[in-house]
């Protein structure tokens, strides 16, 4: 079943500078991330004939006008409408287009130019259910919603704030090896536990830092990959699921348990064979839910799991090796691409001081489109290095 993406390779990754503020437009950010990815792959702009874009601030423009802006004569276009799940989904759609001969070289890119105020304003009108039923009640944005998920997880399973703290501290340690991460200082347990309260039980370091930036990867046909220097990456499997479980907004806040069996069966592998996991970490509780839903540990035990493993780049299960959104920053919709950027960079052996030794296979996940009580869209992919 791993042949679903046969004949397709990922050959490059690029990232803009992550900044708290910048005058750059989202079109400029998409250009910079894409140009960096093409340079990493060793390909010219003239080779590109496919484009997948995700950006919350793009309207009234769309992926077609971005192609015009970038000078791409495109045979394949995709616009991500699934929030932070869109990066993995866009990669999968682009891979199918290349496999089927619809294009030969595709850029998958995401970017946004957010500060805290713009982030909160966008969330207040994110979709109909949020706009009509949640914002008028003063729901506190995503922080308020995921505070409830965090409290529920603690009460159901016995997790403590120290358990979430261990996760955040591990990500910060990874971020200190990443020159593009926004957070530059180590995080201690005391600093984590006593940080400013945001929405009980969430405090400052449980929440992402909205920022300005973009990320991109490049996919090509196997024929083109053979003309390039260095290793490439195959997509062993990629899955998406939406509104899982249907008609039940309270069971779990994500859908990975609904896709993981297919994901591993199609990839021909299992969780304990992953050299890393790049999880969508908008809040620590969501990383815990993913660890469980994606089979790294049993349901309700992620807090115990992170007590036993080392999630740093030197550990037995490196997670979010660049610091993730919690310590590198969340550039809006690019929160769904930062994990793909990092996973590709690790597998190509270009991660510098944070490089995992002998990284050959890893998992990347996405999550997004927060609506009434949860995110509706979940995705995951398994990637493998090819010499």
Answer whether residue 14 shows pLDDT above 70.
Answer: yes
**What does the alpha-carbon distance between residue 266 and residue 110 come to, in Å, rounded to a whole number?**
27
How, if at all, do strands 50-54 and 105-113 pair? Answer: parallel
- Convert the pLDDT of each residue in 17-48 to its tens digit: 999 999 999 999 999 999 999 999 999 999 99
Neighbours of 261 (CB within 10 A): 11
Tokens in use for 250? 């309270």
Dihedral Cα 334, 339, 342, 346, nearest 10 deg? -160
Tokens in use for 100? 């089927």
**What does the alpha-carbon distance between residue 330 and residue 338 come to, in Å, rounded to a whole number?**
8
What mean pLDDT do residues 183-205 have? 97
Report phi then psi at 53, rounded to 5: -130, 140
Tokens in use for 50? 């496919």
Prediction pTM value: 0.94
What mean pLDDT do residues 171-196 have? 98
* Three-class DSSP category at 323: coil
* Three-class DSSP category at 172: helix
Q: What angle do CA 309, 315, 317 make, to 5 degrees?
A: 60
**What does the alpha-carbon distance between residue 245 and residue 329 come to, in Å, rounded to a whole number?**
30
Answer whether residue 346 shows pLDDT above 50.
Answer: yes
How high does pLDDT run on average in the chain? 93
**What does the alpha-carbon distance between residue 375 and residue 364 come to, in Å, rounded to a whole number?**
17
Residue 59: name the closest of 128, 124, 133, 112 by CA: 112
Q: What percent of the chain has pLDDT over 90?
A: 85
On whether the CB atoms of residues 365 and 278 are closer than 8 A, the answer is: yes
Q: Which whole-number Å values give the CA distances from 368 to 77, 231, 237, 282, 344, in the listed order?
A: 20, 31, 20, 10, 21
* Residue 144: band (very low, low, confident or very high) from pLDDT cuts 50, 70, 90: confident
**What does the alpha-carbon distance between residue 299 and residue 260 come to, in Å, rounded to a whole number?**
13
Report phi then psi at 213, rounded to 5: 170, 180
Where helices occur in the chain by DSSP H, the ranges are: 26-41, 63-70, 86-99, 116-124, 128-129, 141-157, 161-175, 189-193, 222-225, 260-267, 284-293, 302-308, 324-327, 338-347
**What does the alpha-carbon distance between residue 133 and residue 21 come to, in Å, rounded to a whole number?**
31
| pLDDT value of position 130 | 64
Q: Which helix (H) or strand (E) holds 110?
A: strand 105-113
Return the CA Rg of the chain: 19
| pLDDT value of position 2 | 46
**What does the alpha-carbon distance between residue 113 and residue 333 come to, in Å, rounded to a whole number?**
10
**What does the alpha-carbon distance between residue 210 and residue 326 come to, in Å, rounded to a whole number?**
10
- Convert the pLDDT of each residue in 236-282 to its tens digit: 999 999 999 888 766 777 899 999 999 999 999 999 999 999 999 99
What mean pLDDT do residues 283-312 have? 97
């Amino acid at each position: 079943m791993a042949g679903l993406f046969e004949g397709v390779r990922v050959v490059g990754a690029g990232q803009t500078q992550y900044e708290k503020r910048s005058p750059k437009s989202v079109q400029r950010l998409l250009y910079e991330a894409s140009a960096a990815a093409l340079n990493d792959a060793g390909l010219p702009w003239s080779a590109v004939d496919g484009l997948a874009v995700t950006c919350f601030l793009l309207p009234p423009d769309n992926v077609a006008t971005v192609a015009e802006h970038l000078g791409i004569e495109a045979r394949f276009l995709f616009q991500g409408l699934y929030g932070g799940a869109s990066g993995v989904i866009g990669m999968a759609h682009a891979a199918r287009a290349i496999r089927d001969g619809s294009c030969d070289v595709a850029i998958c890119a995401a970017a946004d130019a957010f500060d805290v105020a713009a982030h909160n304003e966008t969330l207040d009108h994110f979709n109909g259910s949020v706009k009509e039923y949640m914002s008028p009640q003063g729901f506190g944005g995503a922080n308020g919603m995921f505070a409830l998920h965090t409290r529920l997880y603690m009460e159901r399973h016995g997790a403590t704030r120290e358990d979430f703290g261990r996760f955040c501290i591990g990500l910060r340690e990874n971020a200190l090896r990443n020159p593009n991460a926004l957070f530059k200082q180590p995080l201690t347990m005391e600093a984590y536990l006593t940080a400013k309260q945001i929405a009980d039980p969430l405090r400052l370091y449980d929440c992402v830092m909205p920022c300005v930036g973009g990320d991109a990867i490049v996919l090509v046909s196997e024929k083109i990959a053979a003309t390039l220097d260095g290793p490439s990456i195959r997509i062993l499997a990629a899955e998406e699921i939406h509104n899982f479980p249907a008609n039940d907004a309270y069971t779990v806040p994500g859908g990975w348990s609904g896709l993981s069996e297919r994901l591993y069966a199609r990839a021909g592998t299992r969780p304990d064979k992953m050299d890393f996991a790049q999880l969508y970490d908008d809040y620590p509780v969501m990383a815990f839910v993913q660890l469980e839903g994606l089979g790294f540990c049993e349901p309700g035990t992620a807090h115990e799991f992170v007590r036993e493993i080392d999630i740093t780049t030197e550990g037995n299960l490196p997670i979010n090796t660049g610091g993730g959104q919690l310590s590198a920053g969340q550039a809006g919709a690019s929160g769904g691409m930062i994990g793909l950027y990092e996973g590709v960079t690790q597998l190509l052996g270009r991660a510098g001081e944070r490089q995992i030794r002998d990284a050959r296979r890893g998992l990347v996940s996405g999550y997004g489109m927060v609506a009434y009580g949860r995110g509706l869209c979940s995705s995951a992919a398994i990637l493998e290095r090819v010499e």
